[in-house]
Chains A and B, each alone.
Chain A
């Protein structure tokens, strides 16, 4: 059974803290993605990676960075958390070949920054 896991379901952090969100997939997918989900806005892409040590900015990368040292793991880093980063964060992964390949999602991390 395919699986994408995220390190936490719920997280509460203080303004200014450095926050790490971890994502692991066991499907040997090349691509991994980080989205944030906000009511009325759908899912917006923060960063994605199509290979180890490779990363590309998505639509809203400001305030975030990422790391992909191993194929199965993709980390999202909030260098200095702010209250406007309170959101649901979803990780996803997919194969590269084949246009029809869907993305598989993790369960999400609901982050609250106070």
Chain B
């Protein structure tokens, strides 16, 4: 069975600082994908970044990067130069090739950016 663990229920960061949100996963599938989503207080889920298990390089999308350490089964999200608008819930999720496109989500981390 697949499992995603986010151990930080809440984080508080000063504006303009970098922040790392932790995500560890467990799967026996050889091929899988890892996703990060952002959920602002308005409720919609916004896709941020994707990492494939066979990708050689860490994924980056603007201020977002994914620190993928396959041997440790971790896929941490790094946000550089945080902004007030980054305050939101963040979810890590995983999908395996055998998982019929299903996503398994972690519990989420609530990030608060202080001015």
A residues whose Cβ falls under 8 Å from a Cβ of B: 31, 33, 35, 40-45, 48, 50, 56, 58, 88, 90, 92, 94, 96, 99-108, 110
Contacts and interface: CB of A to CB of B under 8 A. Distances in A.
Interface string B1-42: 000101001000000000000000000000101010100001
B100 A100 contact: no
B22 to A, nearest CB: 14
Contact of A88 (B37, B42, B43, B47): B43
Contact of A102 (B6, B35, B42, B43): B35
Contact of B52 (A48, A56, A58, A99): A99
Interface stretch (B70-78, B80-88, B104-112): B104-112
> On chain B, which size bracket covers the interface?
20 to 34
Contacts of A45: 102-104
A4 B9 CA distance: 28
A58 B102 contact: yes
B44 A43 contact: no
Contacts of A88: 43
A107 B101 contact: no
Nearest to A41: B107
Nearest to A44: B105
B103 A103 contact: yes
25 contacts: A33-B102, A33-B103, A35-B105, A42-B106, A42-B108, A43-B105, A45-B102, A48-B102, A56-B100, A58-B102, A96-B101, A99-B31, A99-B52, A99-B95, A100-B50, A100-B52, A102-B50, A103-B47, A105-B44, A105-B45, A106-B44, A107-B44, A108-B43, A108-B44, A110-B43
